[in-house]
Amino acid sequence: MSSRDTILSAVRANRPAGPHPLPELPIFPLDDSGDRVAFFRQSLEGMGGRSWIGKAVDAVGALFPQAKVIASLVPEIAGNRDMTAETRPRDLADIDVAVVRAAFGVAETGSVLLIDQALVVNAVAYLAQHLLVVLEPWNIMLTMKEAYQRPEFHQQRYASFHTGPSATADIEGILIHGAQGVRSLTVLFPES
C-alpha cells in the first residue's frame, strides 16, 4: 500500500458517520437598478474590458479595422480562418480576432462563461490578439451564485469565466492589460 493509499484509508476510516450535506447559501440581493446590461457593462469596463452594442455583421470592422486574420465561431460574423476540433493550438498564433459566443454573462463581475463547444479549440480564448464575445442581453445572470447554478457550468468538459483582458501589475502599481493572453476582450450585444 502506498503512502497516498494509507492516508486516504485513514481519512475514510475516521470520517463521522451519516450524511453531511453542504448548507444552502442564500442569493444575496444585488441591485442592478433595472438595467442589467448597463450593470454588466459597468462591471466589465471596471475590469479592463469593453462592450459594444450594434449589428453583429459590423462589429469586427468597426472595432478592429486593422485585423487581417479573423477566426469567427459564430454564424452571424464572417471570418477568414476556419477552426475545427483537429486544429492545433500552435496554428492559432496569428489570429488577430477570435469571435465566440458566451454561454452566459454575469452582471456582478462583468464575466462571460466560455465553454468548449463554443470555443472549438479552448486555447483560442488565450492565443488570439483580441477576443470578441457575443452575448445576448437576456442571457445575463445577476450574481456569480446564480451563475454557478446554471447547467452550462457543470455539464461541459471545459468552462472558463473571462472578465476583461489579461492584466498584470508590478510593485510600483502600474497596471498593464494584455501582458499575456488576449490584449482586449470586447463583449458584443447584438442588435437585430
Our CA dihedral for 40, 42, 45, 47, rounded to 10 degrees, sits at -80
Q: How many domains does the chain have?
A: 1
Q: How far, in Å, CA of 188 to CA of 54, rounded?
A: 7
Tell me which residue of 115, 121, 51 sits closest to 81, measured CA to CA: 121
Residue 135, classified by CB atoms within 10 Å of its CB into exposed (0-12), middle (13-18) or buried (19+), is buried
According to the model, what pLDDT value does residue 117 have?
92
Average pLDDT over residues 29-44: 93
According to the model, what pLDDT value does residue 177 have?
67
Higher pLDDT, 181 or 138: 138
Average pLDDT over residues 177-182: 72
100 pLDDT higher than 90: yes
The rounded percent of the chain whose pLDDT value lies above 90 is 67
pTM for the whole structure: 0.83
pLDDT digits (tens, 9 = 90+) for 64-85: 999 999 999 999 999 999 998 8
192 pLDDT higher than 80: no
Hey, is 67 helix, strand or coil?
coil
CA distances from 141 to 28, 38, 51, 86, 127 (A): 13, 13, 17, 33, 27
Q: Are strands 50-55 and 184-191 parallel, antiparallel or unpaired?
A: parallel
Q: How far, in Å, CA of 62 to CA of 65, rounded?
A: 6
168 pLDDT higher than 90: no
According to the model, what pLDDT value does residue 73 have?
95
172 pLDDT higher than 80: no
Considering the domain boundaries, does residue 16 fall inside one? no
- Domain range for 142 is 30-191
Considering the domain boundaries, does residue 4 fall inside one? no
63 pLDDT higher than 80: yes
Average pLDDT over residues 129-157: 92
Considering the domain boundaries, does residue 24 fall inside one? no
According to the model, what pLDDT value does residue 174 have?
74
According to the model, what pLDDT value does residue 171 have?
64
Q: What's the full length of the chain, in residues?
A: 192
Considering the domain boundaries, does residue 25 fall inside one? no
> What residues contact 27, with CB distance under 8 A and at least 6 apart?
143, 145, 146
Considering the domain boundaries, does residue 55 fall inside one? yes
Considering the domain boundaries, does residue 35 fall inside one? yes
pLDDT band at 187; cut points 50, 70, 90: very high
Mean pLDDT score across all residues of the chain: 90
* 123 neighbors 100 (Cβ within 8 angstroms): no
Cα end-to-end span (Å), the chain? 63
Average pLDDT over residues 10-16: 91
Considering the domain boundaries, does residue 18 fall inside one? no
Q: How far, in Å, CA of 125 to CA of 178, rounded?
A: 13
CATH number reported for the structural domain that contains residue 100 in this entry: 3.40.50.10420
Q: Which three cell numbers stand for residue 135?
A: 452575448
Q: Alpha helices of the chain — where are they, by DSSP H?
A: 3-13, 36-46, 56-63, 116-119, 124-127, 144-148, 151-155
Beta-bridge partner residues of 115: 159
